[in-house]
A and B are shown apart, each in its own frame.
Chain A
Amino acid sequence: MTALLTVNDLTIRFPAASRIAARLSGQPAFIEAVAQVSFALEAGKTYALVGESGSGKTTLARAIVGLVPTHSGQIEFGGQRISGLGETALRPVRRQIAMMFQDPMGSLSPRLKVQSILAEPFKVHGETADLDRKIRSLLADVGLPAHFAERYPHQLSGGQARRINIARAIALRPKLIIADEPTAGLDVSIQGEMLNLMRALQEKFGTAFLMITHNLHVVRHVADRMAVMYLGRIVEEGDTAAIFARPRHRYTTALLSANLKADPDSSTQIIEAEGETPSLLKRPSGCEFHPRCSFKHEICRNEMPGEQAMAQGHRFSCHNPA
């Protein structure tokens, strides 16, 4: 099967300081928020980008929709290169890729009624015919009654606001929806509802999802494939089932064990990752996870591990894998 989205050797840089300040302080003039990232997402599937704060997942997602310029590498969507395209050339592509932002309330304008919020994607792409019916059907798709069209965002609960975000994302029937932390801050009883709704819409419309999350419990049930990111790099990638069955990179194992089970007799041994994520301005030498790793060898300090490939495209970069 051909990929819907292919990211190839993508690097995204941000200026960190002026050139003179950088020269004086001895620090680099830029940071690499995303470094040499490659992955592919198939049509109609769910791919999860997993990692902690500062791992570059959101930057990567924003680059895919063209909100952040790329430094090197390519992004291809439906066989067409979309990285480096100008605004005009990007417009038809944007119709195919929708984004659900992290803060569901903050991404709804407080002064617009749900009706206007949902009308916007149609207006932007000049499809204003039959608008009311389209909006009613969108609300029905996300399980909200038609009278919600008259509400303002402050009259919505957190779960309802998320449903409106989902409705807006599916409005133009995109091929890909990028969902940035779709369940962060939700109670567990509502979290399931959102994920079930996304799954139902995926089946109905054949939409692919790129899901950014730090909740590994969720990933296991919703994602077909996943990538674990650390300091802007993918350190492990593969089928979700394979990674959960046998995580190899030491960061993945630490991350998986840190997702505490709601079971007082849980036998899972917590593998502690010491300290905190280092600054992108001072990337560690060798394997970038080594300062926090309990399994490091001498080689990990000095040499960046190469990528090892296993069956079904499971790959990881670790000198001393689990």
Chain B
Amino acid sequence: MALLDIDGLSVAFRTRRGELQALRNVSLSVEKGEIIGIIGESGCGKSTLINSIIGLLPANVSAVSGSIRFEDENIVGMTEAGLRRLRGERITTIFQDPMTALNPVLSIGTQMTAIQYRRPESLAVKRRRAIDFLERVRMPDAARRLDQYPHQFSGGMRQRICIAMALLTEPDLLIADEPTTALDATLEVQVIRLLRELQRDIGCSVMFVSHHLGAVADLCERVAIMYAGEVVEQGTVRDIFRDPRHPYTRKLLECDPGRLTEMQDTLPTIPGEVPDLVHIPEGCIFRSRCPDEFARCGERPSPETVGPGHRAACHKARELGTP
């Protein structure tokens, strides 16, 4: 059974220009113990998706429809008290910027014991658990460093602290929102390895949100590709990276300079711009930029199953396969 089952989720915001439809009919599930990658460029709705799952949508949200089932409960429409029971305990989050995620005026020990407030245990036990988790994220000299403040740690160490804090409650679902974007390449590799190792230990599911294709290919088992508020394709890592069926996925992969085997003077791009989500164009959302556009694209495509668990929202999904 899926741990998290998002079905037909749509989210809209009030803006000065009108209603912005940030997410439209998103369906996605996260199985127990799996690592799923969410890939998409700026404005594709990744953050809105995360905020919907943790019940932290901004105040100008005007409409939410569909459901987000976490085990047996629907997060959409859940009371604040209900959300508080899940958030920070069963669903935890690591954010992009490890500096702003930590409170600068409290020692990390104070922060790491405070988030265990639900547990009826002594402070000594909580401190010991904090030290244990800092050691698990390979913090050297963890016991001594527990009383230091965030500014006394490097960027990579701070992200490790955030990971330790997110896993401290042994959550069922860890949402990692661009956790390596602010890190250097050699540290990114370290953090990805660490996440994989700890995920195996703890057995939680991980939703790894990133625009870094390489990191997703390395870490995840399944991938969903988002474009302009829709999930346009999802499947296993191998399906997506080896046999992409949605023209957007195909173009996105083409654009990654890391995938070009030959040295090239001109780099591939996706001409055109992401459509305005206040005035959603008719038909397929990728139509205006699509190299494979044809008459039927005026009709909205629904996700087509092209293989086990591999779905693409394109009228040509079957034809576009690699032979």
Contacts and interface: CB of A to CB of B under 8 A. Distances in A.
Contacts of B270: 189
B106 interface: no
A195 B215 CA distance: 22
Interface string A254-270: 11011111111110001
Interface in A29-72: 52-53
Nearest to B189: A258
B184 A188 contact: no
B157 A276 contact: yes
Interface string B203-218: 0000000011111111
A254 B251 CA distance: 29
Interface stretch (A80-88, A123-131, A217-225, A308-316): A217-225
B217 A187 contact: no
A273 B241 contact: no
A216 interface: yes
Contacts of B186: 52, 254-255, 258, 272-273, 292
A81 to B, nearest CB: 34
Contacts of B41: 187-189
A276 B156 contact: yes
B263 A192 contact: no
A27 interface: no
Nearest to A190: B269
B314 to A, nearest CB: 18
Contact of A264 (B187, B188, B237): B237
Contact of B258 (A189, A214, A217, A254): A217
Majority SS at the chain B contact face: helix
A260 B218 contact: yes
A263 B217 contact: yes
A241 interface: yes
A107 B259 CA distance: 32
Interface in B169-196: 184-190, 192-193
Interface string A168-207: 0000000000000000000111111101100100000000
A158 interface: yes
Contact of A196 (B215, B242, B252, B266): B266
A266 B217 contact: yes
Contacts of A53: 155, 184
A220 B238 CA distance: 26
Contacts, number: 116
A192 B217 contact: no
A257 B190 CA distance: 12
A214 B215 CA distance: 15
A196 B267 contact: yes
Nearest to A279: B154
Contacts of A270: 189
A188 B211 contact: yes
B259 A263 contact: yes
Interface string A238-261: 000100000000000011011111
B115 interface: no
B185 A255 contact: yes
Contact of B241 (A214, A258, A263): A263
Contacts of A191: 255, 257, 267
A188 B255 contact: yes
A189 B272 CA distance: 10
Contacts of A263: 217, 241, 259
A262 B217 contact: yes
Contacts of B154: 276-277
Nearest to B153: A276
A187 B213 contact: no
A262 B259 contact: yes
- The interface centre, meaning the residue of A241, A262, A263, A277 with most chain B CB atoms within 10 A of its CB, is A262
A272 B189 contact: yes
Interface in B235-260: 237-238, 241-242, 251-253, 255-260
Interface in B149-177: 154-157
Contact of A262 (B155, B185, B190, B213): B213
Contacts of B256: 188, 217, 262
A52 B267 contact: no
B100 interface: no
Interface string B248-291: 00011101111110011111111001000000000000000000
A73 B268 CA distance: 41
Contacts of A258: 185-186, 188-189
A254 B265 CA distance: 26
A260 B265 CA distance: 22
B79 interface: no
A214 B184 contact: yes
A70 B269 CA distance: 40
A214 B266 CA distance: 20
Contacts of B157: 276
A202 B36 CA distance: 41
A195 to B, nearest CB: 5
Contacts of A221: 257, 260, 263-265, 267
Nearest to B238: A264
B60 interface: no
Given A188-B252, A189-B255, A264-B217, 16 more contacts: A52-B185, A188-B213, A188-B255, A191-B257, A191-B267, A196-B266, A216-B185, A221-B260, A221-B267, A255-B185, A258-B185, A258-B188, A260-B188, A261-B217, A262-B213, A276-B187
